[in-house]
Homo-oligomer: A and B are copies of this chain.
Amino acid sequence: MIDLPYLSDVTRKTPSKIILLVVDGLGGLPHPDSGKSELETANTPNLDALAGESACGLTTPVAPGITPGSGPGHMALFGYDPVKYLMGRGVLEALGIDVELKEGDVAARGNLCTIDAEGLLVDRRAGRIPTRESAPLVEQLDRITVPGVELSVYPVQDYRFVLVMRGDGLSERISETDPQVVGAAPLDAEAPSGESAKAADAVNAFIAAARDVLGGRDKANMVLLRGFSMLPRLPDFGERYRLSPGAIAAYPMYRGLAKLVGMSVIPTGATFDEELDTLEEHYDDHDFFFLHYKPADAAGEDGDFEAKVAALEALDSRMPRLRALNAEALIVAGDHSTPSILGGHGWHPVPLMVNAESTKGDGVACFSERACAQGSLGRISATDVMMLALAHSGKLAKYGP
């Protein structure tokens, strides 16, 4: 993993190429009727053939039993301890809508909410008002000014928004204003120490102004803020691994995560086919590519088993295009499982395959949770995937005499 003290001694620059395909929400669980998981149900001849020529295993994203969000799931695959380098919800929400954060900015996740005449919470999500209703409110919030701190408010979706504070001497160490229960009043932001006072004051001034701006409305007449957070200080991915990394992702959050670790984000379209176009066009520009495939996760989150099967089959049909590039190391991994029967992320280990010149005949006949459990890689931490990628592409020298 990236904190290995001797990493700089063993990494070496070579012309070989690595493609890390992250299939979001890859792992699943058996359907109660068939006893087969999404991967086992899907007709995936290309993924299966690749598994037969790869070293296979299962990755644990964070720790057994821990269900990771997208942030920790990806950080782990990039080789960063997802506990040490945890990023806050505000930062992740901002990344998710392509907001450019700078060092020192504090981002928060905001909700429009509804309070009653006594100022007590009636609905923490303001009846989940649709974006077309919330957008003009967020615009009004964005016009709020506070002395000494530059405020920006960005719409996300429905009742959700992002607040970004910019200015000298801000701190993320302030308390959340969301009491998490209805019937209680929204809280003031509190500073545990003097160094957080400026940020807390700015937040409270913003909230007071927001109450004025939204007041008089029946619903969506107040705001809640949580997940105050700043950009974590992350070691540079390219520097640590001695790679020139390019990221190709249709969804903003994954581009944001890649940018955060210092990858070059290559502009691409909204579909996986367009991502592949981009990969082919820019194949000579980098020696490492992070390629993100979203649909499997989205279907799993919806609890739609058949849609997830279809998403995996769609991916399978694109594998020949990916393999035609002949990368020295082609890795198919997942940031976490998203079992359709859970309708959300899971804590379950995630199938992994590493394909390279030297990985022939792991004895795994198909790419699935159960088959990968029998592979030669065994069950490893997701933070080890990058080391395997480097090793299999010939980018690691021997450690120690």
Task: Name A residues whose Cβ lies closer than 8 Å to a Cβ of B.
Answer: 1, 4-6, 10, 29-30, 32, 35, 58, 62-72, 82-83, 86-89, 92-93, 227, 339, 341-342, 344-345, 347-349, 358, 360-361, 363, 369-370, 373-380, 384, 386-392, 396-401
Contacts and interface: CB of A to CB of B under 8 A. Distances in A.
Q: Which 5 pairs across A and B sit closest by C-beta, in order of nearness? A: A65-B387, A65-B391, A378-B379, A72-B400, A64-B384
B67 A6 contact: no
Given A400-B72, A401-B92, A67 B345 contact: no
B71 A401 contact: yes
A34 to B, nearest CB: 9
| Identical copies in the complex | 2
Contacts of A32: 360
Given A72-B399, A227-B401, A401-B70, A4 B63 contact: yes
Q: Give the dominant DSSP class at A's interface.
A: loop
A376 B384 contact: no
B360 A35 contact: yes
28 contacts: A4-B63, A10-B66, A29-B360, A30-B361, A58-B378, A62-B399, A63-B384, A64-B384, A64-B387, A64-B388, A65-B384, A65-B389, A65-B391, A65-B396, A66-B387, A66-B391, A67-B397, A68-B399, A68-B400, A69-B401, A71-B400, A72-B400, A88-B401, A347-B396, A363-B370, A373-B374, A373-B375, A379-B379
A83 B1 CA distance: 13
Q: Which of A5, A67, A68, A361: most chain B Cβ within 10 A?
A: A361
A391 B342 contact: no
Given A58-B378, A376-B373, A399 B4 contact: no
Given A398-B67, A401-B92, A86 B378 contact: no
B67 A396 contact: yes
Q: Which of A58, A341, A380: most chain B Cβ within 10 A?
A: A380
A66 to B, nearest CB: 5
Given A6-B86, A227-B401, A401-B88, A361 B35 contact: yes
Contacts of A399: 62, 66-69, 72
Contacts of A388: 64-65, 347
A378 B384 contact: no
Nearest to A362: B370
A89 B401 contact: yes
A37 B70 CA distance: 38
Contacts of A390: 65
A88 B399 CA distance: 11
Contacts of A387: 63-66
B400 A86 contact: yes
Nearest to A96: B401
A386 B66 CA distance: 11
A83 B6 contact: yes
